[in-house]
Amino acid sequence: TGVPPGALSGVDAVVGLGGVSIGDRRWSGGVKQQLRDSRIIPTTALAEAVAAAGVPVFVSASATGFYGDTGSRAVDESAPRGTGFLADLTVDWEAATAPAAAARVVQLRTAPVLSRSGGMLGRLRPLYRFGFGARMGSGEQYLSWISLPDAVGAISHALSRPDITGPVNLAAPDAVPFAEFHRAYSQLRHRPSFLRVPGAVARAVGGEMVEEMILASSRVVPTVLSTTGFTFAHPTLTDALTYTERETAGVSTRG
């Protein structure tokens, strides 16, 4: 299936934000295929429709998983691809935008979005609420993130700036070691922060998904956003976590 003929007639821009949730289950062979199909097939269809309709701008979801495990090294959009399932998936996901090459194509390499209602915090919040939040592995691995308002604002910014093309890191400038995230969130939730899950135990429970999404290090720098004048509403982890705890609805679109 594809986009119905004429559906994009007169459209100024297309934003594709799709895909099965990547952190809910262990990555069996079947789950990996779902993760690929739910991203690559719709992106290809949208890119082909953008090309057919002559839409001038195509903004497509992507992920910071492109960079793989970065260790303590900070990486921006100029860094090469990493290794692993997420890196392979993201490379193919971005390649699926190729049919729209005549348009201005932007690939949104998005870090985990901090939101009260879903995503990473949506899964962790109940654990921290009851005092079961824990440092995962060594805690030295970096966590890149972005608040929901800043993610929305960054997309708006990318749409409005004709000089932005290609990959754009949707990540706050304050990537932190996981241990620091754990301490900050425990403090905000008024819960103890001494619990720790050894890496071997985490791997046994979550397999490859935990290895790549939690135990691997992701230290991503938003160079394109910073150099094109985007202003983060929540530039630090404390800002973002405080926002998620205080806000119950609504987002801003700064940028």
Q: Six-digit token pair at 168?
A: 């754009």
pLDDT score recorded for residue 247:
61
CB burial of 154-165 (b: ≥16 within 10 Å; e: otherwise) equals bbbbbbebeebe
Question: Looking at residue 248, what is its pLDDT?
Answer: 45
pLDDT, residue 122, reads 84
CB of 195 closer than 8 Å to CB of 135? yes
3-state secondary structure the chain: CCCCCCCCCCCCCEEECCCCCCCCCCCCHHHHHHHHHHHHHHHHHHHHHHHHHCCCEEEEEEEHHHHCCCCCCCECCCCCCCCCHHHHHHHHHHHCCHHHCCCEEEEEEECCEEECCEHHHHHHHHHHHCCCCCEECCCCCEECCEEHHHHHHHHHHHHHCCCCCEEEEECCCCCEEHHHHHHHHHHHCCCCCCCEECHHHHHHHHHHHHHHHHHCCCCECCHHHHHCCCCCCCCCHHHHHHHHHHCCCCCCCCC
Q: Return averaged pLDDT per consecutive 10 residues of the chain, 255 residues in all.
A: 86 95 92 97 96 97 98 97 97 98 98 88 86 93 97 98 98 97 93 91 93 96 98 97 73 40
pLDDT tens string 69-101 = 999 999 999 999 999 999 999 999 999 999 999
> Angle at the Cα of 25 (from 192 to 198), degrees rounded to 5?
40
Q: What is the pLDDT of residue 77?
A: 98
pLDDT at 1: 60
The pLDDT value given to residue 254: 41
